[in-house]
């Protein structure tokens, strides 16, 4: 009852925020009254997502946008939310992740890393392999499942070694998970809706598609360097007590790993096929006899990311092993996170509304930030946009921070260098990386509250997290920026 009353209070505040913003914001420089209402809905939505959650408030936001008078039709609203390719993409990707978890492949991969002979009696090799296992999993899975698996392994091993939950060694492992999981997630577009949305935004603004391979060409070096920085910070600044690691029983951990079995092998094979289909259009065109097939896939344009996982779900449902299908579709639907799906399609819709000519928000923001174009170079605009993105994302949703930065700075940059400039594409990749360098507070990413609630105090996350934020930004500007310029130029 207390929680319900609290939600009523937050809803009332959100309505007040909407009214104040939509009525007080001046309709100048191209901004229409409908555009002012959209901005009001967006600000109120941010408040509700932070205070109430992302489930039913997302329904309320979508409904509210239907009532913005004279700006959008109902068909237009639903076509750009539930009718967008993000809806089937999210459902299919979450079911694929669920299938991998059900056959135990996630834990098996993690265990493989921490049972190599090289980790025996070498605590820092173990810590590195433990964190690297999480990075590998996050590169192709949704954010939360690998975090839950890695935390469970951390608790089990630390308990066997004789560590208490608040000892420095398990805290160091949790810091490693906290810092690198979301960065690894943001370094790959494979099965990652946030990165896909960012790439889709850039393609809409420029007419140029950044391929998965191009993004990975920047993302993989970035996350590997960030991993190296994580190890240095843990070893020389955090300095956990590793004395009890002498009790680590590698053989026992290996013995607890169950064999993958036929079902698991088939699920992994289908997932590998999905990944192949995602990247195939990027290189298939260079092979003469495969070029027609690659061009056929390219013809799907913006909807392409959703097709391979949908094919994967059909195969998982049709193929049987050990007397039953690889997935029970109905049970899988019950296990996936529908609130995350609603939130994602709502963000996609808001992105459409922000860029619609009917709202005038784009020219309004362009005029607001236009003075920056006379004060800063194009590189300076990108540098400021990325540091603001980094600051925002550590206190709010990764997706929200990226959308805000795009709305504010993309029109300014395009006005300076043109939509076809490689610098616009570089900024897009940079936003993808910086929006996911998010771990300072519990609200920074969906996995952060899980880690903070399971043995890592928020004050310690703040104590060391800002160092990793600065390192992430430095790696972005010193390494990722020139690398992206070279790959995309």
**CA-based nearest residue to 184, from 148, 231, 216, 150:** 216
Is residue 376 one of the residues assigned to a domain?
Answer: no
Q: Are residues 118 and 244 in the same domain?
A: yes
**CA-based nearest residue to 465, from 443, 488, 487, 438:** 438
Q: Are residues 73 and 150 in the same domain?
A: no
Question: Which pLDDT does position 287 carry in this prediction?
Answer: 67
Is residue 68 one of the residues assigned to a domain?
Answer: yes
Question: Which pLDDT does position 16 carry in this prediction?
Answer: 95
Is residue 247 one of the residues assigned to a domain?
Answer: yes
Q: Residue 24: which domain range?
A: 1-78
Q: Are residues 171 and 143 in the same domain?
A: yes
Q: Are residues 128 and 62 in the same domain?
A: no
Is residue 48 one of the residues assigned to a domain?
Answer: yes
Q: Are residues 90 and 71 in the same domain?
A: no
Residue corresponding to tokens 């979450």? 94
The total domain count for the chain is: 2
Question: Which pLDDT does position 412 carry in this prediction?
Answer: 86
Q: Are residues 306 and 194 in the same domain?
A: yes
Last residue of a domain, one of 78, 106, 129: 78
Question: Which pLDDT does position 419 carry in this prediction?
Answer: 82
Is residue 455 one of the residues assigned to a domain?
Answer: no
Positive or negative, the CA dihedral 272, 193, 389, 30 is: positive
Question: Which pLDDT does position 254 carry in this prediction?
Answer: 76
Is residue 150 one of the residues assigned to a domain?
Answer: yes
Question: Which pLDDT does position 353 carry in this prediction?
Answer: 87
Question: Which pLDDT does position 238 carry in this prediction?
Answer: 95
Q: Are residues 219 and 300 in the same domain?
A: yes
Q: Are residues 22 and 103 in the same domain?
A: no
Q: Are residues 61 and 120 in the same domain?
A: no
Q: Are 55 and 46 in contact (CB under 8 A)?
A: no
Is residue 146 one of the residues assigned to a domain?
Answer: yes
SS3 of 194-236: the string is: HHHHHHHHHHHHHCCCCCHHHHHHHHHHHHHHHHHHHHHHHHH
Is residue 342 one of the residues assigned to a domain?
Answer: no
Neighbours of 422 (CB within 10 A): 16
pLDDT < 50 stretches in the chain: none
Query: Pairing between strand 320-321 and 324-325?
Result: antiparallel
């Amino acid at each position: 009852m207390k929680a319900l009353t609290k939600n009523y209070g937050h809803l009332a505040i959100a309505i007040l925020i909407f009214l104040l913003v939509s009525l007080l914001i001046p309709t100048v420089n191209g901004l229409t009254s409908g555009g002012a209402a959209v901005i009001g809905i967006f600000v109120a939505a941010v408040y509700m997502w932070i205070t109430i959650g992302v489930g039913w408030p997302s329904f309320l936001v979508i409904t509210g946008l239907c009532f913005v008078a004279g700006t959008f039709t109902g068909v237009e609203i639903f076509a750009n939310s539930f009718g967008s390719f993000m809806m089937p993409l999210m459902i299919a990707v979450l079911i694929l992740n669920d299938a991998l978890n059900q056959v135990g492949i996630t834990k098996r991969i993690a265990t493989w890393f921490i049972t190599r002979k090289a980790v025996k009696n070498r605590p820092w090799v173990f810590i590195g392999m433990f964190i690297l296992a999480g990075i590998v999993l996050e590169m192709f899975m949704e954010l939360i499942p690998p975090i839950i698996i890695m935390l469970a392994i951390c608790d089990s091993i630390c308990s066997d070694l004789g560590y208490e939950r608040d000892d420095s060694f398990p805290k160091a492992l949790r810091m490693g998970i906290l810092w690198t999981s979301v960065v690894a997630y943001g370094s790959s577009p494979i099965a990652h809706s946030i990165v896909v949305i960012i790439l889709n935004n850039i393609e809409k603004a420029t007419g140029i598609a950044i391929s998965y391979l191009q993004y990975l060409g920047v993302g993989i070096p970035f996350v590997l360097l960030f991993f190296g920085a994580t190890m240095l910070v843990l070893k020389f600044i955090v300095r956990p007590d590793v004395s009890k690691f002498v009790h680590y029983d590698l053989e026992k951990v290996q013995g607890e790993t169950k064999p993958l079995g036929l079902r698991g092998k088939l699920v992994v094979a289908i997932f590998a096929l999905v990944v192949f289909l995602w990247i195939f259009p990027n290189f298939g065109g260079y092979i003469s006899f495969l070029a027609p097939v690659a061009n056929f896939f390219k013809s799907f344009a913006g909807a392409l990311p959703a097709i391979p996982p949908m094919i994967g779900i059909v195969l998982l449902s049709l193929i049987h092993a050990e007397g039953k299908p690889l997935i029970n579709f109905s049970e899988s639907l019950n296990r996936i996170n529908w609130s995350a799906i609603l939130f994602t399609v709502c963000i996609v819709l808001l992105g459409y509304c922000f860029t619609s000519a009917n709202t005038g928000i784009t020219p309004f923001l362009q005029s607001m930030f236009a003075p920056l174009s006379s004060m800063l170079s194009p590189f300076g605009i990108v540098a400021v946009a990325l540091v603001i993105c980094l600051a925002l994302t550590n206190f709010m949703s990764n997706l929200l921070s990226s959308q805000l930065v795009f709305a504010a700075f993309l029109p300014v940059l395009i006005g300076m260098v043109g939509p076809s400039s490689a610098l616009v594409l570089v900024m897009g990749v940079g936003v993808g990386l910086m929006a996911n360098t998010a771990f300072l507070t519990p609200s920074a990413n969906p996995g952060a509250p899980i880690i903070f609630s399971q043995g890592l105090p928020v004050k310690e996350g703040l104590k060391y997290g800002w160092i990793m934020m600065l390192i992430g930004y430095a790696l972005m500007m010193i390494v990722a920026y020139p690398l992206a310029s070279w790959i995309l130029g």
